[in-house]
Structure 1
Amino acid sequence: MHPEHPDLITTPLTADLIRGALELERTERGLLPHRLPARARAQCADPQLALVEAQPSGVRLALRTRATVVELDTLPTRRTYTGAPPRPDGVYELLVGGRPHGRATASGGHTLTVDLSTGAAEHRTGPPGTLRFTGLPDRDKDVEIWLPHNETTELVALRTDAPVAPVPDRGRRVWLHHGSSISHGSEAAAPTGTWPARAASRAGVELINLGLGGSALLDPFTARAMRDTPADLLSVKIGINLVNLDLMRLRAFGPAVHGFLDTLREGHPTAPLLVVSPLYCPIHEDTPGPGTFDLAALAEGRLGFLATGDPAERAAGKLTLTVIREELVRIVRERAADDPRLHYLDGLELYGASDHAELPLPDGLHPDAATHLRIGDRFTDLAFAPDGPFGARTA
């Protein structure tokens, strides 16, 4: 029992109640879910990676309980950007039997304020907040609480009005996906509204989402983390971050893709493996990076992005989305001769020029909430079709 909630039972937060995280760090307050293990984090000092891998996209509590009341104490860390529009607070979603039952946001928490002009960051501490969900059906049921996809979240305490147990194994396939901020969730309205979460729900699979905003960079430590994570289905979405960070040239790109796929195959030699090329993004289709903030948009209170490269630099090996799609097609075709469970999906089939005409990217880079749902539905229809790479024949 909790002294302030004498009618509720406090259940220790343990790994068997949490899905979608690769590691749980014990903190002074509770548990911090990580989407990359400590060994991987130790191999990169990039603060952007440290920020995004601790944002629990796809991470959820999974409980079997008769409880009608669920309380969760959390300690969020929110980002704000000076000179940019305020970001909405992270959303927590409670599902009963896979169906939405309630949403909430947490009060309190830490704040990380980033100055876009200098990159300087200021961290202010705050207290935990309490989420309370009521009116759950009075019967044994599966309850999930999806954590905010874009807000670092420490789990402090779990209280219910009936005992809690882990959800039994349903024998569902595990889908492990890696990609950029779009896979992470970018401008999705809620954690189950990111395109991978939408696809996983429709396909009836368990999601582990390694979408890492700004950090889908063919990093060897990410490949090793995926290699060592049990999964039945794997996908990797490659391209946009390599361009907008201007990270490598064509000479390095092909071998890096091969190396990443080789590492995945070390741990998953026969699992269906899907390579997804970039979605349509006009600023980088034929213009290399680096990308930068659109200062004119910021002056108007909007967030926007621009490409600063020169299309003529493609001749010197600079990458664009068009170049990357061409290379990925070639690489997958060559490898598939010896790897029949390796597949390619053109990102333009998920979001192409005609989609952009109807649902343009609000900031020039990231899809909005409605577009996330469209991408998720298309991915399900293509990848999880009976004859698709993740279809019934791959079981």
Structure 2
Amino acid sequence: MGSFVEKLASGQSPAGPPNACVSPEQVLRVAEQYRGMAATSSALAQLGAYAAGESDTLPAFGSSTPQAERILSRVLSNRGGLRVYRRLLVEAVQRLVPNTWSQLKAGGANALESWFNSSEPLDAAFVEEAKKERTSGDRSDPVLSTTLRLVQAYELLARCNDPSFTVKTCARARQLRQLLESTGPLTVARRTEEIWGNECTAIGPPVIAGWLVDFPSEASSKVAQELLDALYTKMYACWLTSGTKSEPFPRWMSRRLPAANELPQKSLLRRKELEERWHEGSAQDTCGKAALALNGMPAPESCSMPADVAEAASAWAVGRTQLTDADRERFDVRLCDQFVTKLWQGNSITIPASFERAPVFEELVQETEHRLPTSIAIMRGHCQGRRGPEDVFPAQVVELGHL
């Protein structure tokens, strides 16, 4: 009996135990189960090593009959790519088209399998839902950028670009990526998410060069103009919070734009368009100078401000009453005016260095909690307390009054 058990444990098929207590067919079935357990253990060990990065060899599993082995074989099947990777595409589709995904899922396992392995074009309902503007209240989820990264991750792990692999689901993944990369409204939304998602400190020549090269080449492209709007506004917002009076926006921006010889011809036009959006003496120039002057003002000792700060603030106080309709509609002018207004009120404010997705106007300028009052708040306190030289205090109040 000991020899019989030993052979079973090693996956062998003994002829039968002593006294023929069981039939040869039963022995074979038991032995088959043991062989399956050994194969399953080996496959799981391969999967563990592959997942941990200890091996780059995809786990393999042959055909077998016991249910546990069939399930594992389905998971590790390389015919459709390592199946656990498909979860990346599932997450992508769920985020992009939740309604269409619910309908697909309701069709059952066979319907899902057919859809993922199909090379037929995405149907109109799928594309239409993907194009719709998102109204979700959760603005912390950058849907389009995340979806694209999930699809790209699947293509990488499933080796979709490796000609030695034939993975049916790669065709569907390719369609999803092309939809996200080339469809106008989706392109604008996704790339705008990327622009606002970058930290201000990360925006420099290499990053901007990549964006400009990626922009559509058509000179009048609405997509390109919307992306330039987003890039310009992002850079202007970064300058408002990190710039200094000694570095006007054109100079600040120039240091972050790629050199002309680093860009192809079509991208040079986009670079030039960015630079030409700024004009000396324009509303965004006058307001920007006031913002930097107020934000960088040293703490005063009386109800007064330095002459250069007062001059910049006064110029905008006058300029904002003379805005054209076009200026009032400009996003950068509205942003700067709100920034200056909150500074003048004595609030401690900032514009976050990055956003998970493109922010709405009301989310840009945010008040912060600081123990120490701002320089403007200190000045206001001096004015309210009538602190300052008696011989000049009235004149100082008058000077500040028109602001």
Normalising by structure 2, we get a TM-score of: 0.31
More strand per residue? 1
Over alpha carbons, which structure has the higher Rg? 2
Instruction: Return the structure number with greater relative CO, CA threshold 8 A, min gap 6.
Output: 1
Higher percent of residues as helix: 2
